Amino acid sequence: MAQGILLLVEKKLKELGYDVFTTRISLPRLPVLLIKRLLDRIDIPSSILLSVGGIDITHIDYDLALDIVSRGYYFSIYGISRNPQEYSYTISRLIHKIAEEKPIYATQISISYHHTPLETPYFPDSTSSGELGIGFSFLYPNIVKNILEETESLTYTVEKLENIFRKTINDIRHLGLGKYRFGIDYSISPWMEKSVVALIEALGYELGKPGFNYGVYLINNMIQELAKRIGYAIGYNEVMLPYAEDALLIDAGKYQKIRARDLLLYTSTCVVGPDMIVVPAEQNHLRQFLLDTYSVWRLKQKPLSARIIPVDGLPGDKIDLGKFGNVYVLSY
């Protein structure tokens, strides 16, 4: 049923002139035995991304993790907060072993820093409540940047974005899809040249320099104001800075202008700072980085998610990360 709904939504949105970047299905948290049975029975096109949901750290092992990611599916690991010192070691060892198979496999696994499942279109940390619904996210950093440069005002930018979102939501609500649950994650996330860093720098705050975190804070406030005004909010609704998905972040990594710890610093203000970070393979360093992320989460008390890709390389080395292209190894 979910696949049929997705294909219908995609078709109708394209007819209205919208570009559909990806379509995705998230499953609820399921017993591990059921996940294992489902893996051989799932039949969806490779164009549809699938999250099998959150799996507890005590139930995931290397064989199951590899089975999931080698099929192209995603999952998140829950439970680090119960015993951060022990479980950070367990997770670091698992992530390193998976990345040794193929680095891109590690991009399909996230570490969840929250207690309850999170419904969001953003993968891998996406778990359905179990009730059928439709969620949307939007690739719009360039739209926000253009409006900001035109209006030179965050207040006017919010007003213009509100009008755009209301029209889009009206179009979606009139697709004739039935009475399914409906939600939007208003997060601003990049995809290469559609750069969140470029958006923040348009405010006058340069990456890696004092003030950048404040720029993140300003955009975060704008997102949350939009979510408050319009409603339907699900998921994170914050700035996202996935390293290997933003062209300006990748460029900064090339010249070693940023480190993994810098992106963790931004996590104090935005939601997914430690995301898609490519680092040298070293189990204890990753373990300690996960503990640092845990500390930020405990203080922030908002959902966080981490994706770390350990590779055989030194800071500044270039690696091929498949669909993400060439990225550069960061130092911790």
User: For 296-317, what is each residue's pLDDT tens digit?
Assistant: 999 888 899 999 999 999 999 9
Map residue 182 onto helix, strand or coil: strand
C-alpha 59/C-alpha 70 separation (Å) is 18
Rounded-to-integer distance, Cα 190 and Cα 239, Å: 9
Who wins on pLDDT, 173 or 68?
68
pLDDT of residue 214: 95
Would the pLDDT of 181 be above 90? Answer: no
What pLDDT is stored for residue 15 in this prediction? 87
Helix (H, G, I), strand (E, B) or coil at 7: helix
Residue 329 is given by DSSP the state P
pLDDT value of residue 8: 82
Per-residue pLDDT band at 98 (split at 50, 70, 90): very high
- Tens of pLDDT, residues 244-255: 999 999 999 999
Query: What per-residue confidence (pLDDT) applies to 271?
Result: 65
Residue 306 burial (C-beta neighbours within 10 Å; 0-12, 13-18, 19+): buried
Tokens of 250: 């990748």
Q: Evaluate if residue 205 carries a pLDDT over 60.
A: yes
Residue 29 has pLDDT above 80, yes or no: yes
* Mean pLDDT computed over 196-210: 96
> Quick one: CA torsion of 144, 147, 152, 158, rounded to 10 degrees?
-60
Residue 207: pLDDT above 70? yes
Coil, strand or helix: which one is 18?
A: coil
pLDDT per position as a tens digit, 128-139:
988 888 899 999
> pLDDT at position 45, please?
87
**Average pLDDT estimate for 57-83:** 97
The residue type of 249 is L
pLDDT in the model for residue 301: 85
Q: Inform me whether the pLDDT recorded for 7 exceeds 90.
A: no
Q: What is the mean pLDDT of residues 149-161?
A: 95
Query: Residues 46-50: contacts with CB within 8 Å, 24+ apart?
Result: 46/72, 47/22, 47/23, 48/3, 48/6, 48/23, 48/24, 49/22, 49/23, 49/24, 49/25, 49/74, 49/123, 50/24, 50/25, 50/26, 50/74
Query: In this predicted structure, what is the pLDDT of residue 174?
Result: 83
Average pLDDT, the chain: 94
pLDDT at 272: 64
Of 149-163, 190-204, 261-275, least confident by mean pLDDT is: 261-275
Over residues 80-91, the pLDDT tens digits come to 999 999 999 999
The residues, ordered by sequence, that sit 6+ positions from 60 with a Cβ below 8 Å of its Cβ are 32, 75, 77, 94
User: What percent of the chain has a predicted confidence (pLDDT) above 90?
Assistant: 83
DSSP classification of residue 244 = G
Domain ranges of the chain: 2-328
Percent of the chain whose pLDDT exceeds 70? 99
- Model confidence pLDDT, tens digit, residues 44-59: 888 899 999 999 999 9
Which of these, 181, 180, 184, 222, lies nearest to 200 by C-alpha position? 222
Residue 260: predicted pLDDT: 96
Spatial neighbors of 273 by CB under 8 A, at least 6 apart, are 241, 263, 264, 265, 266, 267
* pLDDT at residue 273 greater than cutoff 60: no
What confidence score (pLDDT) does residue 168 get? 93
Q: Answer yes or no: is pLDDT of 176 > 80.
A: no
In order of 45, 90, 260, the CA distances from 276 in angstroms are: 25, 19, 10
